[in-house]
Amino acid sequence: MITTFLSTEQHKDYVTLQFGIHNVAGEDLVISSGSQPYDFIVTNEVGKEVYRWSLNKLFTAEVVERTLNKDEKMSYEERWSFQNNEDKPVPRGKYKLEVVFLIHLPELVEPQSPQYLSISSEISTDIDK
């Protein structure tokens, strides 16, 4: 079994996301992914997408397989600068950050639902730090 984690640190002009997966299966797991192991999406208060991290990025078609040892974590860090997909500032308000992990666990018999490998957090851009 894999669990996900996400923490955010807000600043005046951006938010830092620290996120990842944690192997809590009690045994080593083999996982695979493409060159894009995750994505993160920002939606506004009405659920409309305003930013997608992977937009305008290029990824290779290679498949990477690795062992995630018992109790091991894979961690990542990204930054969102409160800009939309057109690189324009978003209005002040509340936003939902959702991280989706694009990995496959071939050792598991039952496929995991997409929601199982995602995690989200609410933030507000109404801060003056």
Does the structure show a pLDDT above 90 at 9? yes
Does the structure show a pLDDT above 80 at 2? yes
Indicate yes or no: pTM above 0.75.
Answer: yes
Half-sphere exposure (CA, 13 Å, Cβ side) for 66?
A: 13
**Per-residue model confidence as pLDDT tens digits over 54-101:** 998 898 888 888 999 999 999 999 999 999 999 999 999 999 999 999
DSSP class of residue 89?
B
Cα distances from 12 to residues 92, 99, 108, 127, in angstroms, run: 11, 21, 43, 6
Q: Strand, coil or helix: what is 82?
A: coil
Whole-number pLDDT of residue 107: 60
Region 31-44 average pLDDT: 92
DSSP class of residue 55?
T
Dihedral of the CA atoms 9, 36, 96, 51 (nearest 10)? Answer: 100
Where do the structural domains in the chain lie, given as residue ranges? 2-124
Match 């920002």 to its residue by tokens: 42
Cα distances from 67 to residues 8, 19, 22, 33, 121, in angstroms, run: 27, 19, 12, 12, 28
Query: Under CATH, domain 2-124 is a member of which superfamily?
Result: Intracellular proteinase inhibitor BsuPI (2.60.40.2360)
Average pLDDT, the chain: 88
Whole-angstrom Cα distance, residue 94 to residue 126?
8
Whole-number pLDDT of residue 106: 65
Whole-number pLDDT of residue 114: 45
Whole-number pLDDT of residue 129: 44
